[in-house]
Structure 1
Amino acid sequence: MEKTTVLAANANGAQFYIPGFVRIDEVRQTDEYGNAEFYVVFDDSKLGQVAQVTVALSGGAPPSPDQTPPPVVLGKVRSFDYWGYVYYYASPAPTNWHNEKTMVITGRAYNLEVYVPGFVAVDKIRQVGNLDTVQLYIRYNTTNITQIHRISVTTVGPDRELPAGAVDLGLIHPYGSWLYVHYTDEIVSTQA
């Protein structure tokens, strides 16, 4: 049976994995930065068929219908200073789409070091209390657990000074002052 759910994302590049995907019926813009709600239709009798649905924003002209898979235009939205066509295309999800997991690591934002097999990315940081303790939401891939990454987290402030290869995680506010948090990723082991 077909059902509709609403997913929120930015129209300028979002990707969903949707079991039983049928189509996107509508897009409704929620702000002037291109954020929108997508009214997604799925069939709950076909949940074993997972689609990788990619949403994108083209410039002044609609996307070419010659793309594979073909794009489906949903209309236009305003993103900052220009209008663009919102479109999506769907294809079968890759066979390993469900192999990514998330772990939450809690520790001090300065000098935190963790080893993660199959590391993919740090998706989010959340400050715990008003000290320097943070939670890192770390994504890893279970099909690549022989590749061990050392993730080193540190803070700088008040100026953002990113060393080469560092990834910015944003700001925390410990002890009444603002600090930038970033991490570096180093592969330390790959076993056969």
Structure 2
Amino acid sequence: MEKTTVLASNGFGAQFYIPGFVRIDDVHQIDEYGNVELSVVYDDAKLGQVAQVTLGNRTDGPPLDGQTPPPVALGKLRYIGGWLYIFYYAQPAPNWQNEKTMVITGRAHDLEFYVPGLVAIDKLRQLDDYGNIQLFVRYNTANINQIHHISVTTVGPDRELPAGAVDLGLIHPYGSYLYVHYTDTIVPPQP
């Protein structure tokens, strides 16, 4: 059954992953900075079909025909300094059924955890001045029998990576700067 929900976005561009996506019926501008509300129609009987919906814009007219995926015009957007023509296009979301993300929180030094089917650590976010961080860890549910042991640690002030380590970026606890990296070891199958 088709239902409608409202999503807020900036009209200069955004990307959504929408289960059961059917179409965007309407766009409503909410301020002069280009922010909009989108009336999104989805089918709750098709939630397993996830679409990657991308909002785009052009200054010189509606989107061109012949693009893949085909764009759907939504109208004009007014912002300080001019006008934009906004549109969206939708396509099946890549690897939606297999890849998921979990958030791991802990101290940046000597943090250890296990991840089934690790794909990548996509993002490091510092939480406070004590060295607490969040790691956004992507894993593949089709490969959960492969368990990865992840060890996170810091070095500083020079970025010296041990063999096989992956750089995660820089944090600054108490005004000092430390580089964060991790090593990944696959755990042997358990008997």
Distance in 2 (CA, whole Å) between partners of 1:178 and 1:80 is 40
Report the 3-state secondary structure (helix = DSSP H, G, I; strand = E; otherwise coil) of the residue aligned with 1:102.
strand
Query: Residues 103 and 66 of structure 1: is their aligned pair in 2 closer, same or farther, counting only changes over 3 Å?
Result: same
Indicate the structure (1 or 2) with the bigger Cα radius of gyration: 2
CA distance in 1, matches of 2:118, 2:175: 34
| Aligned-residue identity in percent | 37
- Give the Å deviation of 1:66: 0.5
Moved more, 64-73 or 109-118: 109-118
Preserved CA contact (<8 Å) 1:106 1:133: yes
- TM-score normalized with structure 2 length: 0.63
Deviation per residue, 1:105-161 (Å, 9 max, x gap): 23211354545323244356352x6522223232212123466666564557789x6
| Alignment deviations for residues 15-63 of structure 1 (CA, whole Å, 9 cap, x no partner) | 323324332421536674x66543312233x334624133143443343
- Separation in 1, partners of 2:152, 2:109: 6
User: Is the CA contact 1:118–1:142 (under 8 Å) kept in the aligned structure 2?
Assistant: no
- Counterpart CA distance in 1 for 2:4 and 2:141 is 31
Report how far residue 72 of structure 1 moved: 0.8
1:110 aligns with 2:109: yes
Q: Which runs of 5+ in 1 are unaligned?
A: none
**Residue 38 (structure 2) aligns with:** 38
For residue 83 of structure 1, report the CA deviation from its aligned partner.
Answer: 5.9
Please state whether the residue corresponding to 1:47 is helix, strand or coil.
Answer: coil
Q: CA deviation at 1:85?
A: 3.6
Corresponding pairs, count: 183
TM-score when normalising by structure 1: 0.62
Residues 71 and 47 of structure 1: CA distance in aligned 2, closer, same or farther (over 3 Å): same
CA deviation after TM superposition for structure 1 residue 81, in Å: 8.1
**CA 1:71/1:115 → structure 2, altered by over 3 Å: closer, same or farther?**
same
Matched, 1:4 2:2: no
In structure 1, distance between residues paired with 2:179 and 2:74: 38
